[in-house]
Amino acid sequence: MIKPHGADALKPLFVYDTEKHHALNKEAQQLPSLLVTSATAANAVMLGAGYFTPLSGYMNLADALSVAESLHTTDGLFWPVPIVNLNQDVSSIGDAKRIALRDPNVEGNPVLAIMDIDAIETVSDEQIDFMAQNIFGTLDPEHPGVATFKAQGNILLSGSIQVLNFSYFQTDFPDTFRTAVEIRNEMQERGWNKVVAFQTRNPMHRAHEELCRMAQKDLGTDGILVHMLLGQLKPGDIPADVRDACIRKMVELYFPPNTVMITGYGFDMLYAGPREAVLHAVFRQNCGCTHFIVGRDHAGVGDYYGGFDAQTIFDEKVPAGALQIEIYRADHTAYSKKLDRVVMMKDAPDHSKEDFILLSGTKVREMLGNGQKPPPEFSRPEVAQILIDYYQKSEG
């Protein structure tokens, strides 16, 4: 199986030892505590789950700026996005060097992790803008990722953490949330060595389904890891539990047994396009995947990124040998009326637009909201029914 990024073995920061876990939980109740942002909490979950191997905690300002600028930490580790703990106010911790980080997303704000503080630094507005511009490629306040990043605050805490729980992900998605450790273990149990990962924050339509099939066939993989984001999204995106139900129904009915693992990870969507695509590749390597599908406008939003920017970044910004995982480059996929199957549009040069069944997201939402199933060439009827029920309930 492929090695984790920058290490021989995964480095999950979750405290698995029961005795130690109990002692740290007890200690945490006595420590000064800080209520962190959702983004900081999501970083803790990813660090705890081993997805962010080999990091040992939150980056300091020098590393965050270096990663934003050159995709490398100051000591040379390849990393695409700053992993930071930014705050507006840290008066609650005084001059403490060891603190409890509290979860903003769970009632009662339980302790998420214990942090040993290496430094508390003030980040200038110019430095925040510099990072945002490099991560997102824009400073437009309408960009959801930019808005979230810039709202976190200008006080940066760096240092190592010990993670004590996985926020709401384990309780809300017990059948789907998995750590990188658990995914590697399950792949081993299944005897999978060559695995292609598919990232999604949406329900999977026919085109996504066929794309996974194409990748598996072209690459000759043992299986497909469908790995869905379970964290915070922008308004209008479909909630994780609905997506989960759609994907499970599709896999149950349309894929052979033991070819797909349906899993999810606890992170908030950045909508950072190319940079997020590289981050997605890093943590899929940590899961043990050998290949990763990068599609058209991967992790994008609006018109901020070119259709294939998330693919070209792997040629332009990822040095040879920086990642072991390989990228499977996908074009826009759609149902061809001529060929009576889903194809990559680039593989059908003799087609005109009219030869494809193409529906905009707005049109699909409108149909589902009216109780109409999109054409079966676009969406499996059983999946469409789950979405119809969701839209009618949420609009009712």
Query: Percent of the chain, pLDDT > 70?
Result: 99
How many other C-beta atoms can be found within 10 angstroms of the C-beta atom of residue 266? 26
Question: Is pLDDT at 271 greater than 80 in this prediction?
Answer: yes
Residues 6+ apart with CB under 8 A from 136: 143, 145, 146, 149, 270, 271, 272, 273, 275, 304
Find, among 267, 269, 273, the residue nearest to 237 by Cα. Answer: 269
Q: Say which residue, 238 or 224, is predicted with more confidence.
A: 224
What is the structure's pLDDT at 366? 87
pLDDT, position 393: 87
On the question of pLDDT at 309 being above 90, the answer is: yes
Among the listed residues 98, 190, 201, 213, the single catalytic one is 201
Q: Which range, of 14-18, 88-92, 370-374, averages the lowest pLDDT?
A: 370-374
**Which two three-digit tokens encode residue 66?**
């270096």
Residue 129: which of 112, 141, 142, 117 has the closest Cα? 141
Find the catalytic residue in 25, 202, 248, 365. Answer: 202
Confidence of residue 58 (pLDDT cuts 50, 70, 90): very high
Is the pLDDT assigned to residue 43 strictly greater than 70? yes
Pairing of strands 223-229, 260-265: parallel
pLDDT score of 132 more than 80: yes
Mean predicted lDDT score pLDDT of the chain = 96
202 assigned to active site = yes
Read off the pLDDT of residues 151-176 as tens digits, 9 standing for 90 and up.
999 999 999 999 999 999 999 999 99
Q: The tokens of 278 are what?
A: 């590289």
Tell whether the model's pLDDT for residue 60 goes beyond 80: yes
User: Is the separation of the CB atoms in 71 and 313 below 8 Å?
Assistant: no
pTM as predicted? 0.96
pLDDT at position 395 over 80: no
Task: Return the higher-pLDDT residue of 101 and 332.
Answer: 101
Burial annotation 4-36 (CB, 10 A radius, 16+ → b, else e) = bbbeeebbbbbbeeeeebeebbeebeebebbbb
Domain 18-170 has CATH 3.10.400.10: yes
Instruction: Give the whole-angstrom CA distance, residue 301 versus residue 205.
Output: 18
pLDDT of residue 236: 81
Q: What is the mean pLDDT of residues 287-308?
A: 95
Over range 103-116, report the average pLDDT. 98
Q: Give tens-digit pLDDT for 173-208.
A: 999 999 999 999 999 999 999 999 999 998 998 989
Longest alpha-carbon distance in the chain: 69
- What CA–CA distance (Å, rounded) separates 282 from 8? 14
**What are the extents of the domains in the chain?**
18-170
First vs last Cα of the chain: how many Å apart?
Answer: 48
201 noted as active-site residue: yes
Rg (CA), the chain: 21
Mean pLDDT confidence for 10-35? 98
Whether residue 396 has pLDDT greater than 70:
no
The top-scoring range by mean pLDDT among 16-25, 350-359, 372-381 is 16-25
Kindly report which listed range (69-83, 99-113, 230-244) carries the lowest average pLDDT score.
230-244
Q: In this predicted structure, what is the pLDDT of residue 166?
A: 98
Q: Which of 106-120, 268-282, 327-341 has the lowest mean pLDDT?
A: 327-341
Euclidean distance between CA atoms 274 and 309, whole angstroms = 6
The three state secondary structure string of the chain is CCCCCCCCCCCCCECCCHHHHHHHHHHHHHCCEEECCHHHHHHHHHHHCCCCCCCCEECCHHHHHHHHHHCECCCCCECCCCCCCEECCCHHHCCCCEEEEECCCCCCCCEEEEEEEEEEEECCHHHHHHHHHHHHCCCCCCCHHHHHHHHCCCEEEEEEEEECCCCCHHHHCCCCECCHHHHHHHHHHHCCCCEEEEEECCCCCHHHHHHHHHHHHHHCCCEEEEEEECCCCCCCCCCHHHHHHHHHHHHHHHCCCCCEEEEEECCCCCCCCHHHHHHHHHHHHHHCCCEEEECCCCCCCCCCCCCCHHHHHHHHCCCCCCCCCEEEECCCEEEECCCCEEEEHHHCCCCCHHHEECCCHHHHHHHHHCCCCCCCCCCCHHHHHHHHHHHHHHHC
Residues β-bridged to residue 199: 227
Q: What is the mean pLDDT of residues 53-73?
A: 98
CA dist 72 and 367 (Å) reads 45
